[in-house]
């Protein structure tokens, strides 16, 4: 058996624009051959029988059927011979003076095995769901990989969500275990994480057998001996060897919840084989990672970016991947750049919202650091505006480092449209060209036909499967079909609108559905409305996004109150509290306007287009209001708007 002694092979790494064009042409003319060649560079316990089977009607997509693998063998075991002592994860703590923790590939392998053994002992096996509610600490990375090692399905919930949101996610997937920390150190704050888990348990998480608690700060917590166990007491004495479970390529690797245009977040399902291949392939090509480089993605592992590009992609490629516990502005707005200098970071990946926030704090915070090790800087999560792009290029990239603006989604598993390091043409605010194997197209809104040629504009769709695409939404395949595969028959619909320029480069315009993007976090307007409506005196609400200097979009809520007199300032506070309780602080409205009525069509639908214009203070062209049931509502909304 182990086969890991063979030299580690990696997918093709494109190194010129000509090569990109050649590889791209091959990847779309013979997709199965192309992906099979790339997949052959990994370690499979058993090679697959059939590369691809698909239809976008049911939908049903299967890559590498019959193949057996374990992603952690590819992330860890196969690197041991060549780079066992190289840093796999470098953890930079919240407090600048606290010790950095470095885990070599050998150490990470041992820790993952120990935790995997502990999970086994606690009754977790293949297919069981384990929920995570943790800060950015090494134990999060270790125990997520430990799940993958034994074939358990991880469902990481961002530790800023509320107890209710956590309970909803635990219950949707019938998780057996929650792994959490006692506290989360973020800037000057010490956030009680375990307390939120206690509250979720009190709300009701009947399938949870164990809450495994990682001691992060050692602060006081309450303890329920019927299910609470200390992580270290279960893990420390375990053996550092653990046979990896052989998974089918199409077995579920993880679930990750994300918001859509309907009320309830959906559990996006990713499977083992295709996700492994595509995260590695895209990481290697977009960031142009070279052996020995230090790569840093500032995302949280609670989001897809952290899954694919802190953990899996980099580790599959034998990279050194940094994890940062803190926030960009603590102890001051130079923290990111101080970390880049300190660790000689070569590839840096962050979100436009962070760039805008730091830009607003003044150039002196970035100018004083040596950023000469940077080779590629990346952006993800929302459209990057021109000003932020130029600042990033000039101040961080010092006008020599390429920006990769990476467009993708929780559902796509990996980066879809992006520059490849320095090898693609650059154009501010344009994500650029599709990665090899990715076949985007723009579809006319009215005609539902592909808008061919350059330039073009329309709904951004993808017409051919790629290895890391979502397979379903957990427990509700119909929802997956309706959300992604029915708007444009025969295609995957992203929910975004985009433009293609005369050279074929793509620019993402933004969501065309009822999803807003607040600081790079996806929020469904219906989800926020449902939360607001929980307030006992609220009759109805409508939520829209509006342009926000730092967050990209802010949340604007129009609220109708029940009869009687109200202390509106107090009610505003209560509404914010209700949203925090139902979803979490990331969803709290920035502006709340009390209204008597919402503009509605004759069929009773809220006309959000008008609400969006009023929230953006774009009153010149409100569009056609003649179909409204109550045009007078518009005037009073304009008069009372919050600007």
Given the complex with ligand PRX, which of 479 and 641 has the nearer CB atom?
479
With binding defined as CB under 6 A, does residue 508 bind ligand PRX?
A: yes
- Binds ligand PRX (CB under 6 A): choice among 307, 511, 535, 613: 511
- Binds ligand PRX (CB under 6 A): choice among 107, 198, 405, 527: 405
Binding mask 301-330 for ligand PRX (x = CB under 6 A): ---xx-------------------------
CB of 466 to ligand PRX, least distance (A): 14
With binding defined as CB under 6 A, does residue 139 bind ligand PRX?
A: no
**Given the rule CB under 6 A, which of 77-85, 399-407, 438-446, 448-456 is the region that contacts ligand PRX?**
399-407
Given the complex with ligand PRX, which of 265 and 334 has the nearer CB atom?
265
Identify the three-state secondary structure at position 155.
strand
With binding defined as CB under 6 A, does residue 410 bind ligand PRX?
A: yes
With binding defined as CB under 6 A, does residue 279 bind ligand PRX?
A: no
Contacts (Cβ under 8 Å, ≥6 apart) of 379: 349, 350, 351, 352, 355, 389, 392, 403, 404, 405, 406
CB of 351 to ligand PRX, least distance (A): 8
CB of 305 to ligand PRX, least distance (A): 5
Size of the site for ligand PRX (CB under 6 A): 23
Q: Which long-range contacts (C-beta less than 8 Å, at least 24 apart) are formed by 500-504?
A: 500/442, 500/454, 500/455, 500/456, 500/457, 501/427, 501/430, 501/454, 501/455, 502/454, 502/455, 503/425, 503/454, 504/433, 504/454
With binding defined as CB under 6 A, does residue 584 bind ligand PRX?
A: no
**Given the rule CB under 6 A, which of 63-71, 105-113, 281-289, 408-416 is the region that contacts ligand PRX?**
408-416
CB of 356 to ligand PRX, least distance (A): 14
The whole-angstrom separation of Cα 527 and Cα 530 is: 5
* Residue at token pair 């520059």: 419
Q: What is the dihedral of CA 570, 572, 576, 578, to 10 degrees?
A: 70
How is residue 615 written in tokens? 């929230």
CB of 172 to ligand PRX, least distance (A): 17
CB of 378 to ligand PRX, least distance (A): 9
Burial class (CB in 10 A: 0-12, 13-18, 19+), 167: buried
Given the complex with ligand PRX, which of 192 and 267 has the nearer CB atom?
267
Q: CA nearest 172: which of 106, 269, 100?
A: 269
CB of 524 to ligand PRX, least distance (A): 11
Alpha-carbon distances, residue 153 vs 148, 169, 247 (angstroms):
7, 13, 11
Beta bridge partners of 497: 459, 510
Binding mask 347-386 for ligand PRX (x = CB under 6 A): --------------------------------xxxxx---
Rg (CA), the chain: 24
Contacts (Cβ under 8 Å, ≥6 apart) of 162: 196, 580, 581, 582, 583, 584
- When CB distances to ligand PRX are compared, the closest residue is 410
Count of residues in the chain: 643
Q: CA nearest 514: which of 603, 611, 600, 590?
A: 611
Given the complex with ligand PRX, which of 444 and 510 has the nearer CB atom?
510
Identify the three-state secondary structure at position 162.
coil
Given the complex with ligand PRX, which of 51 and 406 has the nearer CB atom?
406
Contact residues for ligand PRX, defined by CB under 6 A: 258, 304-305, 379-383, 405-410, 431, 494-496, 508, 510-511, 517, 522
């Amino acid at each position: 058996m182990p086969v890991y002694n063979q030299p580690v092979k990696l997918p093709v790494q494109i190194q010129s624009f000509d090569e990109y064009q050649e590889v791209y042409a091959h990847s779309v003319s013979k997709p199965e051959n192309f992906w099979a060649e790339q997949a052959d560079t990994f370690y499979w316990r058993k090679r697959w029988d059939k590369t691809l089977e698909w239809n976008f009607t049911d939908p049903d997509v299967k890559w590498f059927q019959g193949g057996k693998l374990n992603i952690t063998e590819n992330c860890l075991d196969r690197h041991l011979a060549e780079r066992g002592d190289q840093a796999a994860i470098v953890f930079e703590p919240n407090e600048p003076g606290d010790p950095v923790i470095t885990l070599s590939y050998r150490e990470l392998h041992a820790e993952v095995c120990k935790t995997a053994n502990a999970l086994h002992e606690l009754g977790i096996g293949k297919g069981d769901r384990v929920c995570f509610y943790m800060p950015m600490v090494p134990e999060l990375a270790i125990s997520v990989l430990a799940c993958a090692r034994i074939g358990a399905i991880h469902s990481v919930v961002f530790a800023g969500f509320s107890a209710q949101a956590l309970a909803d996610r635990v219950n949707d997937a019938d998780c057996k275990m929650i792994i959490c920390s006692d506290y989360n150190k973020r800037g000057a704050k010490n956030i009680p994480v375990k307390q939120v888990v206690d509250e979720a348990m009190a709300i009701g998480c009947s399938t949870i057998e164990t809450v495994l608690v990682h001691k992060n700060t050692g602060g006081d917590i309450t303890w329920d001996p019927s299910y609470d166990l200390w992580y270290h007491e279960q893990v420390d004495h375990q053996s550092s060897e653990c046979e990896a479970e052989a998974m089918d390529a199409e077995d579920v690797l993880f679930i990750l919840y994300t918001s859509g245009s309907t009320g309830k977040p959906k559990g996006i399902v990713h499977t083992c084989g295709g996700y492994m291949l595509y995260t590695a392939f895209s990481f290697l090509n977009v960031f142009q990672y070279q052996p020995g480089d230090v790569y840093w993605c500032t995302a949280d592992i609670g989001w897809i970016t952290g899954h694919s590009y802190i953990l899996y992609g980099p580790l599959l490629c034998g990279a050194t991947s940094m994890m940062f516990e803190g926030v960009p502005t603590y102890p001051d707005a130079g923290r990111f750049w101080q970390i880049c200098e300190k660790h000689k970071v070569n590839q840096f990946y962050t979100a436009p919202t962070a760039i805008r926030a730091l830009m607003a704090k003044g150039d002196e915070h970035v100018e004083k650091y040596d950023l000469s090790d940077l080779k590629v800087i990346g952006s993800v999560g929302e459209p990057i505006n021109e000003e932020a792009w130029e600042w990033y290029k000039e101040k961080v990239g010092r006008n020599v480092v390429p920006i990769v603006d990476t467009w993708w989604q929780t559902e796509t598993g990996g980066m879809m449209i992006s520059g490849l390091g320095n090898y693609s043409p650059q154009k501010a605010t344009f994500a650029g060209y599709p990665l090899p194997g990715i076949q985007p197209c723009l579809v006319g809104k009215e005609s539902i036909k592909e808008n061919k040629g350059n330039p073009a504009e329309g709904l951004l769709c993808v017409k051919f499967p790629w290895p890391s695409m979502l397979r379903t939404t957990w427990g509700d395949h119909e929802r997956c079909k309706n959300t992604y595969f029915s708007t444009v028959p025969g295609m995957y619909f992203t929910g975004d609108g985009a433009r293609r320029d005369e050279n074929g480069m793509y620019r993402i315009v933004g969501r065309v559905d009822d999803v807003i993007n607040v600081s790079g976090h996806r929020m469904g307007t219906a989800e926020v409305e449902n939360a607001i409506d929980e307030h006992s005196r609220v009759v109805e609400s409508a939520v829209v996004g509006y342009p926000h200097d730092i967050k990209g979009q802010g949340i604007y809520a129009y609220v109708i109150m029940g009869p009687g007199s109200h202390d509106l300032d107090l009610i505003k506070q209560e509404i914010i509290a209700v949203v925090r309780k139902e979803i979490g602080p990331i969803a709290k409205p920035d502006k709340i306007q009390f209204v008597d009525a919402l503009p509605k069509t004759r069929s009773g639908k809220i006309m959000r287009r008008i609400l969006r214009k009023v929230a953006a203070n774009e009153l010149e062209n409100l569009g056609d209001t003649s179909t409204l049931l109550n045009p007078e509502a518009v005037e009073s909304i304009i008069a009372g708007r919050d600007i």
